[in-house]
């Protein structure tokens, strides 16, 4: 494996610039195409020796490659695929492909569905997701969906809908729940915005949401933020538009959402069909056995990890929000050996979901 070095007697890959036709033949020979008869080969070799002595013939300007370039003839055109991120930094991964993940939502039949959060949201007519968002951040921030009007949208005004989730186990921001996070947002709103008078709570699809409305007088843009908590994540719906009536209409349309029973600005800690979620559950009093991961490489990035502990106290699922592959392997090997005391609720063992930050802690809040 190497990069291809053009040898001193290499010739540019176009026919027209060769001073010596035999040199052109020697190029095709270098490409593996054996089209030169043996006598011609002797001539080529003799000339090549002569050429070496004079130095290479090079074109003043290397031509860009194209489909007619003889260099590519007869060879499979294996290219680095466009539009694909093959070399990644710390990224999200999980120990299995079956357990739903926060970032595992998708849009099909004009509906956003997220099995992890138990959330479905029929999109407004002629609104779709143009592009998926970025991967989860090391601070536990997710972009679940980015929804905008399509080209066929005929409404009088435009806007966008951003659905995010913040893992409350890993946020460096103060606040224990969705309500506190919205309050923090309000209290720290930059001077570019003004809060608009709206009730601090809203009812969407029968569930309570913390809400915040603000606008930018300079831009003439309005934002409506609706937040609830599900499985210890603050799930936020951010509506943006120049037209407050559109925001009202989008908010009304959100009553078509389906949400889990636990969704609430101050609760939302799992239970029922999903594990209960508990912050800092992996502390000594709950652990029977613990093994530290042995990292093969020294890396300074924090690695936020969510685990699900089964009723017997074993780690049954691991979700890396942001980790390099070697970090994920080392942590997985360690977590396989952890043993928890079974978590009891009303005297019955239950599954627990919790978060552990490996490596340096996430950035502290101001």
- 3-state SS assignment for residue 30: helix
Sign of the dihedral through C-alpha 92, 94, 97, 102: negative
15-74 positions binding another protein, by CB under 8 A? 32, 55-56, 58-65, 69, 71-72
Q: Shortest gap between Cβ of 339 and another protein (angstroms)?
A: 32
Tell me whether residue 175 or residue 271 sits nearer to another protein (CB atom): 175
Q: Please report, for residues 123, 200, 232, 241, the alpha-carbon distance to residue 210 in angstroms, rounded to integers and kept in the order given.
A: 21, 6, 15, 19
117-156 positions binding another protein, by CB under 8 A? 130-135, 137-139, 141, 143, 146, 148-149
Indicate the burial class of 288 (C-beta count within 10 angstroms; 0-12, 13-18, 19 or more): exposed
* Contact pick of 26, 95, 177, 241 for another protein (by CB under 8 A): 241
* Contact pick of 102, 124, 159, 268 for another protein (by CB under 8 A): 159
Question: Count of CB atoms within 10 A of residue 44's CB?
Answer: 20
Structure token pair of residue 114: 């997220």
Tell me whether residue 121 or residue 338 sits nearer to another protein (CB atom): 121
Tell me whether residue 51 or residue 276 sits nearer to another protein (CB atom): 51
- 3-state SS assignment for residue 255: helix
* Contact pick of 39, 98, 108, 218 for another protein (by CB under 8 A): 218
CA gap 342, 351 in Å, rounded: 8
Q: Facing residues of 357 across strands?
A: 304
CA gap 187, 177 in Å, rounded: 15
Tell me whether residue 88 or residue 279 sits nearer to another protein (CB atom): 88
Element (H, E) at 330: helix 325-335
63-92 positions binding another protein, by CB under 8 A? 63-65, 69, 71-72, 75-91
* Contact pick of 92, 177, 229, 240 for another protein (by CB under 8 A): 240
Tell me whether residue 154 or residue 283 sits nearer to another protein (CB atom): 154
- Tell me if 153 sits within 8 A of 126, measured CB to CB: yes
89-108 positions binding another protein, by CB under 8 A? 89-91
- Tell me if 269 sits within 8 A of 278, measured CB to CB: yes
CA gap 27, 249 in Å, rounded: 67
Q: Shortest gap between Cβ of 271 and another protein (angstroms)?
A: 28
- Asked if residue 301 binds another protein (CB under 8 A), the reply is yes
Interface region with another protein, contact rule CB under 8 A, candidates 5-13, 104-112, 276-284, 332-340 = 5-13
245-284 positions binding another protein, by CB under 8 A? none
In 66-220, the DSSP E strands lie at 91-94, 106-108, 111-114, 119-122, 127-129, 141-149, 159-167, 194-195, 201-204, 207-216
Site string for another protein, 175-204 (x = CB under 8 A): ------x--xx--x-x-xx-----------
Tell me whether residue 20 or residue 310 sits nearer to another protein (CB atom): 20
* Contact pick of 167, 236, 262, 353 for another protein (by CB under 8 A): 236
* Contact pick of 113, 221, 334, 350 for another protein (by CB under 8 A): 221
- Tell me if 237 sits within 8 A of 255, measured CB to CB: no
Q: Which phi and psi angles does 4 have, rounded to 5°?
A: -75, 120
Interface region with another protein, contact rule CB under 8 A, candidates 41-49, 109-117, 221-229, 303-311 = 221-229
- Tell me if 93 sits within 8 A of 323, measured CB to CB: yes
Q: Shortest gap between Cβ of 156 and another protein (angstroms)?
A: 13
Site string for another protein, 309-338 (x = CB under 8 A): -------------x----------------
Tell me whether residue 222 or residue 319 sits nearer to another protein (CB atom): 222
Q: Packing angle between helix 21-30 and helix 38-54, nearest 10 degrees?
A: 100
Interface region with another protein, contact rule CB under 8 A, candidates 272-280, 296-304, 333-341, 347-355 = 296-304
């Amino acid at each position: 494996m190497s990069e291809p070095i053009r040898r001193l007697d290499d010739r540019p890959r176009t026919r027209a610039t060769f001073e010596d036709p035999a040199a052109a033949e020697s190029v095709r020979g270098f490409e593996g195409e054996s089209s030169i008869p043996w006598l011609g080969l002797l001539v080529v070799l003799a000339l090549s020796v002569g050429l070496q002595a004079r130095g290479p013939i090079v074109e003043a300007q290397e031509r860009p490659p194209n489909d007619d370039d003889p260099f590519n003839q007869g060879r499979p055109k294996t290219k680095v695929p466009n539009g694909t991120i093959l070399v990644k930094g710390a990224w999200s991964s999980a120990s299995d492909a079956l357990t739903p993940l926060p970032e595992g939502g998708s849009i099909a039949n004009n509906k956003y569905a997220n099995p992890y959060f138990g959330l479905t949201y029929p999109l407004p007519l002629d609104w779709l997701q143009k592009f998926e968002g970025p991967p989860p951040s090391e601070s536990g921030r997710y972009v679940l969906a980015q929804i905008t009007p399509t080209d066929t949208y005929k409404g009088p005004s435009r806007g966008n809908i951003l659905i995010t989730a913040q893992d409350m186990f890993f946020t460096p921001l103060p606040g224990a729940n969705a309500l506190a996070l919205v309050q923090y947002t309000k209290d720290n709103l930059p001077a570019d915005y003004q809060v608009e008078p709206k009730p601090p709570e809203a009812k969407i699809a029968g569930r309570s949401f913390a809400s915040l409305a603000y606008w930018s007088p300079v831009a003439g843009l309005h934002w409506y933020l609706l937040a609830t908590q599900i499985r210890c994540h603050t799930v936020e719906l951010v509506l943006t538009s120049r037209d407050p009536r559109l925001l009202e209409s989008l908010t009304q349309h959100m009553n078509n959402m389906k949400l889990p029973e636990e969704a609430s600005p101050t609760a939302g800690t799992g239970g029922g069909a999903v594990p209960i979620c508990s912050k800092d559950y992996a502390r000594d009093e709950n652990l029977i056995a613990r093994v530290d991961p042995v990292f093969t490489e020294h890396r300074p990035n924090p690695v936020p990890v969510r685990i699900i502990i089964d009723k017997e106290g074993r780690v049954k699922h691991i979700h890396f929000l942001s980790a390099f592959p070697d970090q994920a392997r080392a942590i997985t090997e360690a977590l396989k050996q952890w043993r928890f005391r079974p978590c009891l609720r009303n005297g019955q063992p239950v599954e627990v979901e919790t978060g552990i930050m490996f490596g340096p802690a996430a950035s502290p809040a101001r």
